[in-house]
A and B are shown apart, each in its own frame.
Chain A
Amino acid sequence: MEQPGSDTHLHNRSHAIFGDMSFFSKQMRIALRNCGTIDPDSIDDYLQARGYEALAKVLTEMTPPAVIDEIKKSGLRGRGGAGFPTGFKWELTAREQNEEKFIICNADEGDPGAFMDRSAIEGDPHTVIEGMLIAGYAVGAQQGIVYIRAEYPLAVQRLERAIVAARAEGFLGENILGSSFSFDIEIRLGAGAFVCGEETALMHSIEGFRGMPRPRPPFPSVQGLFGKPTVINNVETWANIPVIILDGAEWFGSIGTEKSKGTKVFALAGMINNTGLVEVPMGTTLRDMIYDIGGGIPNGKKFKAIQTGGPSGGCLSEQYLDTKIDYDSLAQAGSIMGSGGMIVIDEDSCMVNIAKFFLEFTQNESCGKCTPCREGTKRMLEILVRITEGKGEQGDIEKLERLGTTIKKASLCGLGQSAPNPVLSTIKNFRVEYEEHIHQKKCRSNFCDYLLTYTVTDKCVGCTLCRRVCPSAAVTGTPKLRHEIDQMKCIKCGLCFKSCKFSAITKTSH
Chain B
Amino acid sequence: MTTLTSDTAMDELKAYIETVKKKARPESYLIAILHKAQHLYGYLDKEVMNEIAFIMNLPTAHIWGVATFYHYFNLTPKGEHTIAICLGTACYVKGAGDLLDTLKEELKITIGETTEDKLFTLQEARCLGACGLAPVIMIDEKIYGEMTPKKVVALLAHFRTEK
Chain A positions within 8 Å of B, measured between CB atoms, are 109-115, 118-119, 150-153, 188-194, 205-211, 226, 267, 269-271, 275-276, 307, 310, 341, 343, 345, 349, 354, 357-358, 361, 367
Contact = CB atoms under 8 A, between A and B. Distances in A.
A119 B131 CA distance: 12
Contact of B69 (A110, A210, A343): A210
A174 B72 CA distance: 35
B30 interface: yes
Contacts of A115: 127, 129-131
B137 interface: no
B35 A189 contact: yes
Contact of B72 (A114, A150, A275): A150
B131 A357 contact: no
Contacts of B134: 269-270, 275
A199 to B, nearest CB: 16
B42 interface: no
A109 B88 CA distance: 13
- What bracket does the count of chain B residues touching chain A fall in? 20 to 34
19 contacts: A112-B89, A112-B92, A112-B127, A115-B130, A151-B125, A151-B128, A151-B129, A189-B31, A189-B35, A190-B31, A192-B70, A193-B69, A207-B25, A211-B69, A211-B70, A269-B132, A276-B132, A343-B90, A354-B93
Interface in B84-134: 87-90, 92-94, 125-132, 134
Given A208-B28, A343-B90, A358-B89, 12 more contacts: A112-B88, A113-B90, A150-B72, A151-B72, A190-B70, A191-B71, A191-B73, A192-B72, A269-B89, A270-B90, A270-B134, A275-B134
Contacts of B55: none
Interface of B: 25, 27-32, 34-35, 65-66, 69-73, 87-90, 92-94, 125-132, 134, 141
B73 A194 contact: no
A15 B88 CA distance: 30
A52 B23 CA distance: 29
A151 B82 CA distance: 14
B129 A118 contact: yes
Contacts of A151: 72, 125, 128-129
Contacts of A206: 28
Contacts of B128: 151
A189 B88 contact: no
B93 A271 contact: yes
Contacts of A153: 141
A361 B65 CA distance: 21
A343 B91 CA distance: 10
A389 B128 CA distance: 29
A109 B131 CA distance: 14
B31 A208 contact: yes
B31 to A, nearest CB: 6
Contacts of A191: 31, 34-35, 70-73
A113 B89 contact: yes
Contact of A267 (B32, B71, B87, B131): B131
Interface centre among B65, B66, B127, B132 (most CB of A within 10 A): B127
B66 A208 contact: yes
Contacts of B65: 210
A192 B69 CA distance: 9
A211 B141 CA distance: 26
A189 B30 CA distance: 11
Interface centre among B30, B34, B72, B128 (most CB of A within 10 A): B72
A200 B5 CA distance: 39
Nearest to A343: B89
A99 to B, nearest CB: 13
A119 B126 CA distance: 17
B112 to A, nearest CB: 12
A445 to B, nearest CB: 11
A80 B116 CA distance: 43
A209 B66 contact: yes
Contacts of B28: 206-208, 226
A70 B129 CA distance: 34
B142 to A, nearest CB: 11
A152 B129 contact: yes
A105 to B, nearest CB: 17
Interface centre among B34, B69, B89 (most CB of A within 10 A): B89
